[in-house]
Amino acid sequence: MSAMGNVRKMLSLLLVLFVLQGCESVHFYQQAISGQTRLLWQREDISVLLATDIEPGLRQQLELALEILSYAKAFGLEVDGVYSSYVETGRDYVVWNVFAADPLELSLKTSCFPVAGCVSYRGYFEKADAERYAAKLQAEGSDVYVGGVSAYSTLGWFDDPLLDTFLFRPEEYLAALLFHELAHQVVYVKGDTRFNESLATAIEQHVLEHYLRDVGREAAFERYLSSRERRAQVLALINEMRQALRDVYASDLTRNEKLKKKEVLFEQLVGRYDDLTKNWSVGSEYSSWVRGPMNNAKLETVADYHEWVPAMLHQLEARGYPGFVAWLTMLAELSFEERRDQLFKASEVNNKPG
């Protein structure tokens, strides 16, 4: 995309400010546009960088990213125009997302935007802004979780750059992230975060497995399989916890009794996780997350990325990639309720024995 095209798109986003009401909304869009503009102006063309005398570690990772992107394109993902530039942010995360839920509900509150539609979070380019908004929601009585994000997709609106927030990851994790972000351009449904993130995670896992096998990265593939098994065990534990919480929230207990039961269940989650890890010879990537402060908002961020993944992986492997994309496109045209019903049916088929 040309620089002028980017400017025109940014100006069109600025027009949003003139139809918003309330200082908080204006501030949110101002910081979002400012942060995105900063990334656009800091981009350096990768082909130009590779033709210069850059640090060997950076050269190695840029070349690896290009190899991964070439594989993604051959697989069928849309790559043209994205990740052809690089930005050194000097930060751990590019944005911080704020998630919120009612203390007695397993459902994330949504925010609606002109480009992305309604999503289950608000993203801020400055951590202080995210924490300020989180404190406001917490003061209003919500369960709140702030999570740092290494990468995000603008859904083709801009030419997304590679960032130092994720570029220096080990090969399998870098590939997984790039496949995930590219998958957001396959099909995207405004207002259905769980569908969008589940399909991106399913495509990520499917393409990553093929990539690691095809390029002969056996050690990386073994690490990936080990990590995937640990993740499956943790997700199963979290889903059991979510069901236990649903039962408590739907019970006839008083509000205070429900809140006390909730805290007991969160304490039990840590204990059960510790028991689970006793059988692991390696891997502790979930420990800080599980042992940190827990609430409904934090718990539901996992569901947004994984709830439909098993069913989608089954459909992807059964239909092949073109057929899977056609199936996703059909689902995207349905109403939220109809799409959810179809996914429940696909989950039931996937869970049948044999």
- The overall average pLDDT reported for the chain is 89
**Which residue(s) pair with 87 in the sheet?**
163
Closest CA to 133 of 148, 120, 149, 145: 145
Question: For residue 225, what are its two tokens?
Answer: 């399989």
Question: For residue 275, what are its two tokens?
Answer: 């028991």
Q: Could you tell me if 324 and 316 are in contact, meaning their C-beta atoms sit under 8 angstroms apart?
A: yes
Coarse DSSP helix, strand, coil percentages of the chain, rounded to the nearest 5 percent: 60, 10, 30
Question: For residue 46, what are its two tokens?
Answer: 């990768």
Give the pLDDT confidence score for residue 81 in this predicted structure.
Answer: 80
Sequence-ordered list of residues with C-beta below 8 angstroms from that of 87, at least 6 positions apart, any chain: 39, 42, 43, 44, 161, 162, 163, 164
**Which residue(s) pair with 123 in the sheet?**
97
Give the pLDDT confidence score for residue 17 in this predicted structure.
Answer: 41
**Which residue(s) pair with 162 in the sheet?**
86
pLDDT tens track, the chain, 354 positions: 554 455 455 445 444 443 444 455 777 888 888 898 898 899 999 999 999 999 999 999 999 999 999 999 999 999 988 999 999 999 999 999 999 999 999 999 988 776 667 788 999 999 999 999 999 999 999 999 999 999 988 877 788 999 999 999 999 999 999 999 999 999 999 889 899 999 999 999 999 999 999 999 888 888 888 988 999 999 999 999 999 999 999 999 999 999 999 999 999 999 999 999 998 988 788 999 999 999 999 999 988 788 899 999 999 999 999 999 999 999 999 999 999 999 999 988 766 544
Residue 150 lies in a domain: no
Give the pLDDT confidence score for residue 141 in this predicted structure.
Answer: 97
- Cα separation, 323 vs 316, whole angstroms: 8
Residue 48 lies in a domain: no
What single-letter DSSP state applies at residue 160?
Answer: P
Give the pLDDT confidence score for residue 118 in this predicted structure.
Answer: 79
Residue 227 lies in a domain: yes
- Cα separation, 287 vs 311, whole angstroms: 27
Residue 235 lies in a domain: yes
Give the pLDDT confidence score for residue 136 in this predicted structure.
Answer: 96
By residue range, what is the domain housing residue 260? 219-351
Residue 325 lies in a domain: yes
Q: What's the predicted TM-score (pTM) here?
A: 0.84
Give the pLDDT confidence score for residue 116 in this predicted structure.
Answer: 64
Strands (E), the chain: 44-45, 85-87, 95-101, 111-113, 117-119, 122-124, 143-149, 162-163
Residue 94 lies in a domain: no
Residue 104 lies in a domain: no
In the chain, the number of structural domains is 1
Residue 190 lies in a domain: no
- Cα separation, 229 vs 338, whole angstroms: 32
Give the pLDDT confidence score for residue 307 in this predicted structure.
Answer: 87
